[in-house]
Chains A and B, each alone.
Chain A
Amino acid sequence: MIWVNAVIQGLLLGGLYAIFACGLSLMFGVMRLVNLAHGDMGVLAAYFSIILIEHLGGNPLWTFAAVIPVAALVGYFLQRLLFDRALDGGELSPLLVTFGLSIIIENLLQQTFGANDQSLNIGALSYQSWKVTTDVYVGRLNVIIFVIAVIVIIGLQLFLSKTRTGLALRATADNRRAASLSGINPKRTRSIATAIALATVAIGGLFLAMRTSFAPTSGSSDLLFAFEAVIIGGLGSLWGTLIGGFALGVAQTIGSQINPADGILIGDLVFLAVLAFRPQGLLSLRSVIAR
């Protein structure tokens, strides 16, 4: 039963990783940009929520309504003002620019909030749980996070496959040159991708901050988990990212079950095993962003 429990808890955790990772996957798909500041942006969103609560009070849950649109707007302009220029500068510039951005965000957060751990206090929800069987309990918050993560990823997939803008994103991911020759505005497409990426990583950042404590430098390990989820699932595929998140989450909880200190290590090993034996990822028979 402890193993069943570990798998269930792992799946719940995996949903969170997936929502953290889907924006990374989307941006890479659309513009071949690996955003090394992705994790930090999630953490930034969590601090933004803390500021809002400090000044306006209430349960942090309401701050989603403010943080998500702001994150999307920031993403849109970040793309226009910074990433677009970096992309024009060759292969290396986007990496350097996003790496620099990561350092800037972490240091600014240290300066402003200090290095201490923080968390978003959502009251009773953080410890209430539902009983599944006599020895399996699931945290309500974890279930909520899981459900929302799955809804967000399905919604994103529907957006990509059913809307005109989604079609433009898929076309751009497939062939940039042909996309602009088809009348698709590449700048607009990239900005929308980054807006979505920041909105989703903000959701992930807030949930993560409600689940555990965080600090200015948490972004780096969050980024690592997001990377692992993306690679395990298969680059550029949203369903893959979801599956990758689940796989990583389950590996970590099973690892912790074996030895509490080894959870993250086992996750890393699964990631390395996928890289070694199935580098295209679990789900990349065809790019799912494309259908």
Chain B
Amino acid sequence: MTLLQLEGVTGYYGHLQALQELNLSVNRGEILAVLGANGAGKSTLLSLISGELHPREGRVFYQDKDITQLAPHLRVREGIALVPEGRHLFGTLSVEDNLRSGASTRRRGTWSLDAVYELFPFVAARRKHRAAVLSGGEQQAVAIGRALMSNPSLLLLDEVSLGLAPVIIRDLYAALGRITAEGTTLLVVEQNITEALSVANYAICLLEGRVVLEGKPESLSQREISQAYFGHDLGPSSKAAS
């Protein structure tokens, strides 16, 4: 059953077209991975879904309703939550206040302060601290927790692993498993291909604003992916081209 559907959506910043006409549908309960290099248009795609950017063309449907013009805070109320790239915590607020602000919409569901603290026990230990003084991994966990507090049906995650140590990335991805177990649909934007593909049911790869590859993770070869990622053929061991 389709939860989110984009129909011929384009994304512009002024004259710059960051996303070419794109069609996408996300099924309920699925984990969709969106891969791509720097500047491929991944965050732009998320902004179109979170409502921070309105498409010049095309339409966005969520639970069969046209939400193309809906403002971001109203989409949160409908159950779409974004964990933005760079986390964007309220640095001057305490960890607990950060989490509580995620509950502004008062949507009901399984997530509460206690549930988030149980998911991330190391965050519970820091509840009284200002968010700005936390480590990168702790901040990312708070950002995810804040989004969960709105009890989303669709959780959008933008580069959760960015700048974090492998151990921490593993912990956070383990938490994602528990989040989907609660019935939340995930859209995971990543440059960390391995992590993303390890959890995803389906993946799309963006290059210069268009989908150049898609399929189930097990059906995508390493070679296909790196080609789609960089736009030309590279060995799987080659590092970033940007």
Contact = CB atoms under 8 A, between A and B. Distances in A.
Chains A and B bind each other: yes
Interface of A: 164, 167-168, 170-171, 174-175, 177-186, 286-287, 289-291
B81 A181 contact: yes
Most buried by A among B50, B88, B91: B88
A186 B100 contact: no
Contacts of A167: 97, 100-101, 104
B90 A170 contact: yes
Interface in B91-140: 91-94, 97, 100-102, 104-105, 130
A180 B102 CA distance: 10
B77 to A, nearest CB: 6
A175 B73 contact: no
Given A182-B102, A183-B77, A174 B150 contact: no
Nearest to A287: B92
B73 A291 contact: no
Contacts of A287: 92
A182 B92 contact: no
A181 B72 CA distance: 6
A291 B72 CA distance: 26
A182 B101 contact: yes
B146 A182 contact: yes
B13 to A, nearest CB: 15
A171 B102 CA distance: 10
Given A170-B90, A290-B92, A291-B94, A181 B76 contact: yes
Contacts of A174: 90-93
Nearest to A166: B97
8 contacts: A174-B92, A178-B84, A178-B88, A179-B101, A181-B88, A182-B147, A183-B76, A183-B102
B105 to A, nearest CB: 4
A246 B172 CA distance: 49
A182 B82 CA distance: 8
Nearest to A289: B92
Interface in B32-67: 50, 52
B206 interface: no
B128 to A, nearest CB: 10
Contacts of A164: 104
B84 A182 contact: no
B116 to A, nearest CB: 14
A289 B97 CA distance: 13
A184 B75 CA distance: 11
Given A290-B92, A291-B92, A177 B104 contact: no
B89 interface: yes
